[in-house]
């Protein structure tokens, strides 16, 4: 490496530093899922997709990242952050605009990306680094460090399908940071790990910064963004709303999200407040759940006027960018007679017995209806579901020749 | 670390990735099952015994060592079909990778073909063992024919495999079409019958040579010449009865014939290769979205 490049590295935030990521006028369009023709017959029947069925996930986005910068990408769910990272990583091709990325990129875009469930952690380290373009000898040399960092210990010899989501992240992150990339691209996956591991990852990111590497990551954590980043970009509905100092970006983000991620409709007749999801055991607010676990959804319903008829309650899970609910908390409609809801405040508590197995980011919406009319509603963003899937393999333990009951 | 990598380094890394993917497939397939591995070797032996019994004993085929004749070409065909079908579904089968990790997508069909190659290579080793056991050691200069024949087969497999892989992402029907086409194709290739059967019917004009435009026909007769090597029907009761004694069993005793046949097959294989690479390159940037 030349002295000149070293000098730039040491200077850190040189505004004239070499541009490593340059995206100009990037637009990305998706055809809605149900409109995609995948059989020959469908193709022949319907030749062109009509314009009405496309959705712009990114619109005319410019992003320039220079060597040594750490840039956070923030924005509400469905604003196009992950799509932008995929375009930059070269997984998706933009429909318009140009993308130029110079240098070796290590990306960590989704949980368990690049892992094969049937292989052990050890074998997956080799597979993953081969995918990242690292020669086998280099992986041999890094192997012990990667295992150390991941803290997986002897689990490294087990098939990763038995890993928890936290273990997946640890392994994925450990590989990504050890392969000596010029650019590190990380989506929201970090939030899955436990606090101690997150701390370790952040330390590692700081070390990367000192080495003058370029980092682009998605985060909503105001503290993280402000302490770590040199710049933060706010996306909304696929457009860059703001690109500047982290503190200002976070302020605008909070402006869009409303207080604490909660959007509320306050009507004349009734109003919902203190909408929260709490752990059934501890009563503490939680945002992340594994499939099959339970929780309680609580809120305060304030009735301003006597209700003329019975109220119907609906609680459902929405995916970003989709208008229809992806899941209803059964029963679909919960009817509460009017005389149980006199004027005043009522504590509502809704038990969710089992979160569905559909990993992703969702929002939870609660609606109160009188007949067809919505009189009060609230939405809670940032509900994160993960697949808690642990497979059971039949087996028998034998001790001193005797089967254990 | 340099920002741009030389072409040589890139090719080396890509080869390393393909090796890693083949290793992954082998591991997943034979994980902890020595039996599974042995079975993949025993499989051709079993077919050899069954076909020898059916054709030599039941149908009294005049082709001596029928099982060996069959295997010489059939294993190569197995490589072709396993390679093409594996490549066809390789992108779909690795949707998780394609959607979440940036990498050179060519590695997937190439790894599927490498996986087929690794298995068939072992089966050929078993076959060569069998050749020595029955007293037909393939130690003859014509053995070298397998080298150009392999080049043609690999080109055809890669070309067709990449083409089908790229089309299957968009049109899922392709994989079923490929299965059917391969089955029909096998009967048009001189694997179960000697190529001389076809020659008798096509005469020795243009039609005769057109037959070898089948990119598998040339390589397969080369393999039969190289490994099986029984050029003429022996003088036995059965062959005398059918008037075949001393007649050609394989198309020719002359190496130049095989090279010509191979040349014709190479033309089609090259067309396949160019079309496959072209379509794959064109389509691969959109795979992640279409899965
Ligand atoms: N493959 C896809 N096909 C169709 N729509 C998609 C696809 N990927 C993402 N989207 C849509 O694009 C929008 C932006 O998604 P995404 O980039 O994941 O948002 P974010 O990461 O900011 O939450 C969402 O509305 C999402 O539903
Ligand atoms: Mg996202």
The CATH code of the domain that includes A233 is: 3.40.50.300
CA dist B255 and B260 (Å) reads 9
Q: Is the pLDDT of residue B240 over 80?
A: yes
**Mean pLDDT value of segment A86-111:** 92
CA dist B188 and B227 (Å) reads 21
Which residues of chain B neighbour A92 with C-beta distances below 8 Å? 288-289
What does the buried/exposed string (b/e) look like for A56-76 if buried means 16 or more CB atoms within 10 Å of the residue's CB?
A: bbbbebebebbbbbbbbbbbb
- Pair A124, A197 in one domain: no
- Pair A360, A376 in one domain: yes
Q: Which pair of tokens denotes residue A402? A: 């005797």
Q: Which ligand is nearest to the CA of A234?
A: 1
Please name which of A155, A225, A154, A234 lies closest in space to residue A190, comparing C-alpha atoms. A225
CA dist A80 and A320 (Å) reads 10
On whether residue A307 sits in a domain, the answer given is yes
Which residues of chain B neighbour A119 with C-beta distances below 8 Å? 24, 27-28
Output the pLDDT for position A404: 62
Q: Do A109 and B101 touch (CB under 8 A)?
A: yes
Output the pLDDT for position A259: 38
Output the pLDDT for position A152: 92
Q: Give residue B114's pLDDT band: very low, low, confident or very high (50, 70, 90).
A: very high
**Mean pLDDT value of segment A169-183:** 89
Task: Return left, alpha or beta for A339; rule: phi > 0 is left, psi -120 to 50 is alpha, else beta.
Answer: alpha
Q: Which pair of tokens denotes residue A371? A: 């007949």
**Mean pLDDT value of segment A350-363:** 84
Instruction: Return the number of other C-beta atoms located less than 10 Å from residue B257's C-beta.
Output: 16
Output the pLDDT for position A180: 85
Among A325-329, B17-21, B139-143, name the one with the lowest average pLDDT: A325-329
CA dist A234 and A248 (Å) reads 10
Instruction: Show the CA angle centred on residue A122, arms to residues A120 and A128, nearest 5°.
Output: 95
Q: Give me the residue label for tokens 């799509």.
A: A83
- Pair A399, A298 in one domain: yes
Does residue A161 belong to the interface with chain B, where contact is any CB pair within 8 Å?
A: no
Contact A301, A343 (CB under 8 A): no
Output the pLDDT for position A262: 44
On whether residue A164 sits in a domain, the answer given is no
Q: Give residue A45's pLDDT band: very low, low, confident or very high (50, 70, 90).
A: low
Angle between helices A121-131 and B7-30 (to 10 degrees): 150
Output the pLDDT for position A15: 67
Of all protein residues, the one whose alpha carbon is nearest to atom 27 of ligand 1 is A321
Q: Is the pLDDT of residue A9 over 60?
A: no
On whether residue A354 sits in a domain, the answer given is yes
In this complex, the residue of A91, A102, A105 whose CB is nearest that of residue B288 is A91
DSSP state of A18: P
Output the pLDDT for position A261: 41
Q: Do B100 and A102 touch (CB under 8 A)?
A: no
On whether residue A366 sits in a domain, the answer given is yes
Output the pLDDT for position A389: 62
Q: Is the pLDDT of residue A47 over 80?
A: no
Instruction: Return the number of other C-beta atoms located less than 10 Å from residue A46's C-beta.
Output: 11
- Pair A70, A148 in one domain: no
- Pair A363, A218 in one domain: no
Comparing A216 with A337, the larger pLDDT belongs to A216
Q: Which domain holds residue A368?
A: 265-404
**Mean pLDDT value of segment B218-228:** 96
Q: Is the pLDDT of residue B67 over 80?
A: yes
Q: Is the pLDDT of residue B5 over 60?
A: no
* Domain count of the fold of chain A: 3
Of A117, A148, A177, the residue at which a domain comes to its end is A177
Please name which of B287, B278, B290 lies closest in space to residue B101, comparing C-alpha atoms. B287
Does residue A114 belong to the interface with chain B, where contact is any CB pair within 8 Å?
A: yes
- What percentage of residues in chain B have a pLDDT greater than 70? 96
CA dist A366 and A325 (Å) reads 11
Output the pLDDT for position A7: 34
The CATH code of the domain that includes A333 is: 2.70.50.60
Which residues of chain A neighbour B289 with C-beta distances below 8 Å? 30, 92-93
Does residue A47 belong to the interface with chain B, where contact is any CB pair within 8 Å?
A: no
Output the pLDDT for position A402: 78
Contact B233, B61 (CB under 8 A): no
Phi and psi of A342, rounded to 5°? -70, 170
Output the pLDDT for position A214: 94
Distance A84 CA to ligand 1 centre (A): 10
Contact B188, B210 (CB under 8 A): no
Output the pLDDT for position A93: 93
- Pair A337, A229 in one domain: no
Output the pLDDT for position A284: 76
Residue A157 parent element (H or E): none
Output the pLDDT for position A83: 95
**Mean pLDDT value of segment A58-83:** 92
- Pair A95, A113 in one domain: no
DSSP state of B52: I
Angle between helices B34-51 and B107-134 (to 10 degrees): 60
Output the pLDDT for position A118: 85
On whether residue A381 sits in a domain, the answer given is yes
Comparing A120 with B33, the larger pLDDT belongs to A120
CA dist A311 and A334 (Å) reads 8
On whether residue A333 sits in a domain, the answer given is yes
The C-alpha R_g of chain B, in whole angstroms, comes to: 21
**Which of A2, A38, A130 best probes binding to B when mutated, by most B CB atoms within 10 angstroms?**
A130
- Pair A188, A60 in one domain: yes
Q: What is the 3-state secondary structure of A29-93?
A: EEECHHHCCCCHHHHHHCCCCCHHHEEEEEEEEEEEEECCCEEEEECCCCCCHHHHHHHHHCCCC
Does residue A54 belong to the interface with chain B, where contact is any CB pair within 8 Å?
A: no
- Pair A238, A374 in one domain: no
Residue A20 parent element (H or E): strand A19-31
Highest mean pLDDT among A132-141, A274-283, B12-21: A132-141
The pLDDT tens digits of the residues spanning A256-273 come to 765 334 444 556 678 888
Comparing B48 with B280, the larger pLDDT belongs to B280
CA dist B90 and B82 (Å) reads 12
3-state helix, strand, coil in chain A (%, to 5): 30, 35, 35
Residue A273 parent element (H or E): strand A270-278
Of A196, A221, A256, the residue at which a domain comes to its end is A256
Q: Is the pLDDT of residue A106 over 80?
A: yes
**Mean pLDDT value of segment B14-26:** 86
Kindly state if the Cβ of A246 falls inside 6 Å of ligand 1.
Answer: no
Q: Is the pLDDT of residue A369 over 70?
A: yes
CA A118 to chain centre: 25
Contact A28, A57 (CB under 8 A): yes
What does the buried/exposed string (b/e) look like for A284-310 if buried means 16 or more CB atoms within 10 Å of the residue's CB?
A: eebebbbeebebbbbbebbbeeebeee
Contact A185, A36 (CB under 8 A): no
- Pair A153, A122 in one domain: yes
**Angstroms from A200 CA to nearest CA on chain B:** 24
Query: Average pLDDT of chain A?
Result: 81
In this complex, the residue of A30, A109, A119 whose CB is nearest that of residue B24 is A119
On whether residue A277 sits in a domain, the answer given is yes
Among A21-30, A85-94, A372-381, B99-108, name the one with the lowest average pLDDT: A372-381
Q: Give residue A8's pLDDT band: very low, low, confident or very high (50, 70, 90).
A: very low
Q: Which pair of tokens denotes residue A203? A: 């330390």
Q: Which pair of tokens denotes residue A325? A: 């609910």
Output the pLDDT for position B281: 95
Q: Is the pLDDT of residue A220 over 90?
A: no
Highest mean pLDDT among A142-146, A226-230, B25-29, B31-35: A142-146
Distance A335 CA to ligand 1 centre (A): 35
CA dist B177 and A41 (Å) reads 13
Angle between helices B66-93 and B174-187 (to 10 degrees): 170
CA atoms within 13 A on the CB side of A23: 23
On whether residue A288 sits in a domain, the answer given is yes
- Pair A114, A41 in one domain: no
Please name which of B164, B160, B143 lies closest in space to residue B152, comparing C-alpha atoms. B160
Residue B207 parent element (H or E): helix B206-210
Kindly state if the Cβ of A80 falls inside 6 Å of ligand 1.
Answer: yes
Q: Is the pLDDT of residue A321 over 90?
A: no
Q: Is the pLDDT of residue A34 over 60?
A: no
Output the pLDDT for position A12: 45
Q: Which pair of tokens denotes residue A378? A: 């609230």
Q: Is the pLDDT of residue A59 over 70?
A: yes
pTM for the whole thing? 0.74
3-class DSSP state for residue B234?
coil
Q: Give residue B207's pLDDT band: very low, low, confident or very high (50, 70, 90).
A: confident
Q: Which of A56, A82, A360 to mutate to test the pocket of ligand 1 (most atoms within 8 A of CB)?
A: A82
- What percentage of residues in chain A have a pLDDT greater than 70? 82
Output the pLDDT for position A41: 65
Q: Is the pLDDT of residue A25 over 60?
A: yes
Residue B7 parent element (H or E): helix B7-30
- Pair A247, A366 in one domain: no
Among chain B residues, the shortest Cα distance to A114 is held by: B97
- Write down how long chain A is: 405
Contact A9, A56 (CB under 8 A): no
Contact A170, A150 (CB under 8 A): yes
**Mean pLDDT value of segment A383-395:** 72
Of A196, A223, A256, the residue at which a domain comes to its end is A256
Maximum CA pair distance of chain A?
80
Q: Give me the residue label for tokens 């009522």.
A: A346
Contact A20, A214 (CB under 8 A): yes
Does residue B102 belong to the interface with chain A, where contact is any CB pair within 8 Å?
A: yes
């Amino acid at each position: 490496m030349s002295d000149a490049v070293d000098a730039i590295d040491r200077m850190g935030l040189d505004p004239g530093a070499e541009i490593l990521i340059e995206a100009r006028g990037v637009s990305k369009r998706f055809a809605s899922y149900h409109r995609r023709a995948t059989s020959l017959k469908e193709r022949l029947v319907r030749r062109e997709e009509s314009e009405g069925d496309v959705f712009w996930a990114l619109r005319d986005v410019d992003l320039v990242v220079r060597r040594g910068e750490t840039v956070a990408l923030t924005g509400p769910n469905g604003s196009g952050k992950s799509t932008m990272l995929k375009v930059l990583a070269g997984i998706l091709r933009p429909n318009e605009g140009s993308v130029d990325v110079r240098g070796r990129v290590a990306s960590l875009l989704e949980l368990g990306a690049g892992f094969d469930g049937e292989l052990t952690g050890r074998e997956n380290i080799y597979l993953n680094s081969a995918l990242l373009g690292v020669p086998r000898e280099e992986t041999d040399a890094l192997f012990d460090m990667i295992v150390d960092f991941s803290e997986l210990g002897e689990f490294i010899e087990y098939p990763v399908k038995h890993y928890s989501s936290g273990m997946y992240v640890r392994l994925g992150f450990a590989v990504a940071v050890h392969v000596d990339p010029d650019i590190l691209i990380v989506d929201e996956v970090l939030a899955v790990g436990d606090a101690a591991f997150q701390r370790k990852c952040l330390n590692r990111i700081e070390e990367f910064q000192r080495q003058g590497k370029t980092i682009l990551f998605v985060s909503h954590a105001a503290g993280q963004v402000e302490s770590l980043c040199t710049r933060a970009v706010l996306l909304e509905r696929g457009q860059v709303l703001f690109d500047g100092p982290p503190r200002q970006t976070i302020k605008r983000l909070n402006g869009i999200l409303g207080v604490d991620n909660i959007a509320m409709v306050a009507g004349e007749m009734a109003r919902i407040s203190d909408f929260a999801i709490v752990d059934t055991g501890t009563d503490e607010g939680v945002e992340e759940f594994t499939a099959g676990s339970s929780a309680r959804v609580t809120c305060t319903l304030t009735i301003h006027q006597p209700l003329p008829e019975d109220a119907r309650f609906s609680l459902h899970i929405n995916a970003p960018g989709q208008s229809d609910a992806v899941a209803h908390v059964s029963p679909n409609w919960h009817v509460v007679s009017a005389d149980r809801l006199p004027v005043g405040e009522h504590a509502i508590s809704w038990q969710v017995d089992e979160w569905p197995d559909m990993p992703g980011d969702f929002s939870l919406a609660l609606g109160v209806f009188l007949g067809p009319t919505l009189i009060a509603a609230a939405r809670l963003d940032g509900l994160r579901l993960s697949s808690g899937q642990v497979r059971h393999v039949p087996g028998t333990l034998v001790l001193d020749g005797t089967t254990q009951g | 670390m340099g920002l741009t990598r030389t072409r040589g380094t890139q090719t080396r890394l890509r080869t390393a990735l393909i090796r890693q993917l083949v290793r992954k497939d082998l591991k997943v397939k034979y994980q902890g099952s020595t039996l599974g591995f042995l079975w993949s070797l025993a499989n051709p032996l079993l077919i050899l015994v069954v076909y020898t019994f059916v054709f030599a004993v039941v149908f009294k085929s005049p082709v001596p060592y029928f099982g060996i004749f069959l295997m010489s070409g059939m294993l190569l065909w197995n490589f072709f079909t396993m390679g093409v079908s594996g490549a066809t579904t390789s992108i779909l089968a690795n949707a998780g990778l394609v959607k979440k990790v940036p990498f050179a997508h060519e590695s997937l069909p190439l790894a599927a073909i490498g996986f087929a190659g690794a298995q068939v290579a072992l089966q050929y080793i078993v076959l060569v063992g069998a050749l020595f056991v029955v007293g037909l050691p393939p130690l003859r200069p014509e053995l070298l024919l397998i080298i150009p024949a392999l080049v043609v087969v690999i080109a055809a497999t890669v070309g067709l495999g990449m083409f089908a892989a790229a089309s299957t992402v968009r049109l899922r029907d392709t994989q079923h079409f490929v299965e059917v086409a391969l089955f029909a194709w096998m009967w048009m290739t001189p694997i179960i019958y000697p190529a001389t059967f076809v020659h008798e019917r096509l005469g020795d004009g243009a039609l005769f040579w057109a037959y070898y435009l089948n990119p598998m026909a040339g390589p397969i007769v080369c393999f039969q010449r190289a490994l099986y090597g029984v050029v003429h029907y022996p003088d036995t009761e059965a062959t005398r009865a059918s008037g075949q004694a001393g007649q050609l069993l394989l198309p020719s005793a002359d190496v130049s014939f095989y090279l010509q046949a191979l040349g014709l097959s190479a033309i089609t294989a090259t067309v396949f290769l160019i079309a496959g690479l072209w379509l794959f390159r064109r389509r691969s940037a959109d795979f992640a979205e279409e899965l």
